[in-house]
Structure formats: structure tokens, C-alpha cells
Amino acid sequence: MTSPSFRLDGAAALVTGAAGGIGARVAIGLAEFGADVACVDLTTDPMAPTVAAIERLGRRALALPADASDPGQMGEAVARTVAELGPLRHAVNCAGIHDNAPTETMSLAVWQRKHPDVWEHVQAYAKDIPLGRLAETEELVGPVIFLLSDAASYCTGANLMVDGGAVCW
């Protein structure tokens, strides 16, 4: 029996929120593991560094303008991804949308709602995490790669807690 692969070679992926932060790092991480990546954010100019980093890795990249809360715009982004990169195999939502409801039950109105700055709340939360800090963006890439790879082929319906121990605390 061979070990399962963490490689994503030749697969087309789409990442929302790819202009910066977690989304940009995840998009680059997918390319590091062999995926071609459609980078989606509100405008294309801020995605230029992400697209350039992916292309330096020898992978194909697209910069697609779309609002992740707009089904029509996302449909167009997916259609262009499929047309230019091939069948979409992986999708990662890193767009800055937040709500305490499970995503599968969120209404379109909640997805579209803009939230006020929550930085003070986040800082207070970080102090209570057993690791005493928020994650670095680099630390989030590995779990994403795992879940998208064949190495996670038997994982279904599970929560992978990447929270610095916050849940166990």
C-alpha cells in the first residue's frame, strides 16, 4: 500500500479573498502543492502579487474580480476558471465574511452583510487561546492542503479545529 499524496498536481482551484492575508497565502500554498489557481477578490489589482507568486512557481493563475457574496459574479468566476484552468476540483473561501451561524444555514442577506471592525474583540480573544496568540497565515496552509488532498480521502463530515487550542480550553 502506498502513502496517500498531499500533492494537488494539475488540479484547478479557486480561492476567494485572494488579494491578501489568509486568502493570498492559501492560494500560493495550493500552487506550491501543484494546483493551478483562480484568485478571486473584489478587484484584480491587489491580486497581482499573489498571481505573480503563483506563476513563479510554474503554475497557472487567474485574477478574477468578483464579490463572494454575489451568486451571479461567483458563477461567472467559476465558469471562467473552468474555461481557462479546467474542471474545478478545489474551492477555498477566504473572503472576509464572518457570522456565528453555520455556513450551510446562513441566508444570502447574512453573507452580504458588512461587519464593523472587530479588531479589539480579536485581540481579547487571542489572549484567552492556550497558545496565547492568533495563527500566522502560514500555519493555515497545511490544514487546507490536507483537506483538499487525497490524504484526506476518508475524511467526511469532520471538523478540523485549527484554533490554537481555543476549543479545548
Cα dihedral 55→82→140→99 (10° resolution): 140
- pLDDT bracket for residue 40 (50, 70, 90): very high
Digit-coded pLDDT (tens) for 106-136: 566 665 555 555 567 777 888 888 998 888 9
pLDDT score recorded for residue 104: 57
- pLDDT bracket for residue 158 (50, 70, 90): confident
d(CA 82, CA 6): 22
Amino acid at 42: L
Query: Average pLDDT, stretch 153-168?
Result: 88
d(CA 163, CA 147): 16
Digit-coded pLDDT (tens) for 62-117: 999 999 989 999 999 999 999 999 999 999 999 975 555 555 565 666 655 555 55
Query: Average pLDDT, stretch 44-66?
Result: 97
3-class secondary structure, 62 = strand
Specify which of 1-10, 43-52, 152-161 reaches the highest per-range mean pLDDT: 43-52
Calculate the average pLDDT of the chain. Answer: 88
pLDDT score recorded for residue 102: 59
Domain boundaries, the chain: 12-152
pLDDT score recorded for residue 118: 57
Counted residue by residue, the chain has a size of 169
Q: Which three cell numbers stand for residue 41?
A: 477578490
d(CA 122, CA 107): 24
pLDDT score recorded for residue 101: 56
Burial class (CB in 10 A: 0-12, 13-18, 19+), 3: exposed
**How is domain 12-152 classified at the CATH fold level?**
Rossmann fold (3.40.50)
How much is the pTM?
Answer: 0.84
